[in-house]
Amino acid sequence: MPLYSYKARDSRTGSLVTGSVEEATVETLESSLDSKGLIPISISETSPVFNFEKFNTFFQKVTVEDKIIFTRQMATLFSAGIPFIRSLDTLANQTVNPKMKEVIYKVKEDVESGMSFANSLGKHPKVFDDLYINMIAAGEEGGILDDILDRLAMMAEKEEEIRSKVKSSTLYPKIVVGAIFCAALVMLYFVVPRFAKLYASFNAQLPLPTRMLIAMSGFVQSYWYVILAAIGAIYATFKSYIATDQGHYKWDGFMLHVPVFGILNTKVAMSRFSRTFGTLFKSGLPILQTIDIVSNAIGNVVIAEVLMGIKADVQAGTGLAESMREHPVFPPIVVQMVEIGEESGSLDTMLNKISEYFDQEVDYGIKNLITALEPILLVFIFGMVLFLALAVFLPMWDIVKFARH
């Protein structure tokens, strides 16, 4: 927002008041001064040499929480009958995130100029995705914007809840693996070289595990920079590969079939598919447009490609459930309930029931994730500890036997 310098008279005391403030327009500044009992004398826009807020806004990102709060508060204000422009102004003033504040002010300016709410949101694709914009457009056309905002907020809250649960459930394995990796590096770089010097003084043939450990330690000490460069190169190559269409497709397919996590990822995708599809369908969007939006919002290109095939089938006159049955990515329960929904004319209701079912399955899967990972972690830890123990203590036993003889 532009920075304005102003001079004003206090209507009660007559004293001169000066200052600088950021406002969207001169009119909003005049209104703000008037509400404070100040009579504007002169207002001029200034250009600061360095504006820390603008600098901070450049690097700031709009988080999911920011969007949820905006949507939920907008729905509340709109339902309470507060004028639309005033609602946007209120939210902009209350928003802490400077990036989100800037976006809301720009949306407000566009709406004031006569643009629709959906089109004004569409000018900010990094904040509001196609799903959000299309649902807002449907709400505006159908006169149910408050209901649509409520649904969007509920969807975003549920998505964030699932995402947070998955992150928290995988935190323990990440900490364990990271701790083991750090302990191994400390052993190889600091501890093993001391044992290597001790064993070298005996001029005896060392056991295979010990020779392997000493060789690994020597490599880490001499070529640690090569290891770091190799890890960086592998990571960069991997990120570059999955950024391609082929790599992205293969990676998303792998994530649906990887042991332990594959089933959970599939359940999360089915929950997102059914919730999004049901919400859009209930909002009155045509089914072909709904499939388009869902394919972009599903978060997995393998399932998105399947949905595009289903769209072609539906366009040709095939039923939704009949087409879904041909693709094993959809569990039988999803196909059966969609078929019931089509036959009974309550597809949105059935899709909501599917999302509730898979939400429960995701919760159950997350709770049992640690139980499923514990055996894998235990085998990994046991194998590493066993190798280190054999490598360190086998030569000692040989030394003791040699000393007894």
Residue 57 has pLDDT above 80, yes or no: no
Please say if the pLDDT value at position 52 is more than 60.
no
pLDDT digits (tens, 9 = 90+) for 204-221: 677 888 888 888 888 888
- The Cβ of residue 5 has, within 10 Å, a number of other Cβ atoms equal to 13
Q: Is the pLDDT assigned to residue 396 strictly greater than 70?
A: yes
**What would the two tokens of residue 35 be?**
């509400």
Q: What is the DSSP letter of 52?
A: H
Query: Comparing 142 with 154, which gets the higher pLDDT?
Result: 154
What is the structure's pLDDT at 1?
Answer: 62
- Separation CA 320–CA 314 (nearest Å): 6
pLDDT at position 135 is 80
Percent of the chain with pLDDT over 90: 15
Task: Give kind and range of the element (H or E) at residue 43.
Answer: strand 38-46
Q: What is the mean pLDDT of residues 348-372?
A: 84
Strand partners, 10: 38
Specify the pLDDT at position 21: 75
What is the model's pTM?
0.68
For 62-156, the fitting CATH number among 1.20.81.30, 1.20.210.10, 1.20.140.10, 3.40.50.2300 is 1.20.81.30
Query: How many percent of the chain have pLDDT more than 70?
Result: 93
Q: How many CA atoms lie within 13 A of 148 on its CB side?
A: 23
Going through 54-202 in order, the beta strands assigned E by DSSP cover none
Q: What is the pLDDT of residue 31?
A: 77
Q: Tell me the CB-side half-sphere exposure of residue 246, using CA atoms within 13 A.
A: 1
CB-count exposure of residue 260 (10 Å: 0-12, 13-18, 19+)? middle
Please check the confidence at residue 238 and state whether its pLDDT lies above 90.
yes
Tell me which fold the domain 257-367 belongs to.
Answer: Receptor-associated Protein (1.20.81)
**311: Cβ contacts below 8 Å, ≥ 6 apart:** 288, 291, 292, 295
Given this model, what pLDDT does residue 237 score?
Answer: 94
∠ CA 302-305-309 to the nearest 5 degrees?
140
What is the spatial distance between Cα 74 and Cα 127, in angstroms, rounded to a whole number? 16
Backbone angles phi, psi at 247, to 5 degrees: -65, -40
Whole-number Cα distances in Å, 195 to 9, 22, 217, 332, 392 = 83, 67, 11, 59, 8
Is residue 404 over pLDDT 60?
A: no
Q: Taking the alpha carbons of 285, 288, 294, 296 in that order, is the dihedral positive or negative?
A: negative
The label of the residue with tokens 């649902």 reads 135
Query: How much is the average pLDDT of 317-331?
Result: 91
Check residue 113 and give its pLDDT: 86
pLDDT at 403: 54
The average confidence (pLDDT) of the chain is 83
